[in-house]
Amino acid sequence: MLIINGTAELMCDNSELIAGTRHEFNMFSKEMPFEQQLTKIEEYLVTRGWDNIEVLSNGIVSDVEDITHNVLQQAYDKAKTEGFAVTINNTPLN
């Protein structure tokens, strides 16, 4: 499973976040390699209202037991069945 860490800007208000704010995200992709997934990753985030995406790092997670955070474990499991999953940090970056 591919894991991607980065930041993105919210393009429109939603019930919890304000448009124009930049947030950190973690994303899982069932498909690899990273370079071949860039367009799909961008499309996935843009359809959910995020743009100006900056990928900071990426890597491989071979086992969900390597992930200790419950929300990230849930995202990993979701990506196994749906192909992609993303978690967004609710606190905007300054």
- What tokens appear for 39 in the block? 């367009």
Length of the chain in residues, anyone? Answer: 94
**Type and span of the H or E element at 52:** strand 50-60
94 has a pLDDT exceeding 80: no
* pLDDT over threshold 90, residue 2: yes
User: Over the chain, what is the mean pLDDT?
Assistant: 93
For residues 65 and 51, which has the higher predicted lDDT (pLDDT)? 51
pLDDT tens digits, one per residue of 22-48: 999 999 999 999 999 999 999 999 999
pTM of the predicted structure, to 2 decimals: 0.89
Place of tokens 């200790």: 68
Burial class of residue 90, CB neighbours in 10 A (0-12, 13-18, 19+):
exposed
**Structure confidence at residue 15 (pLDDT):** 82
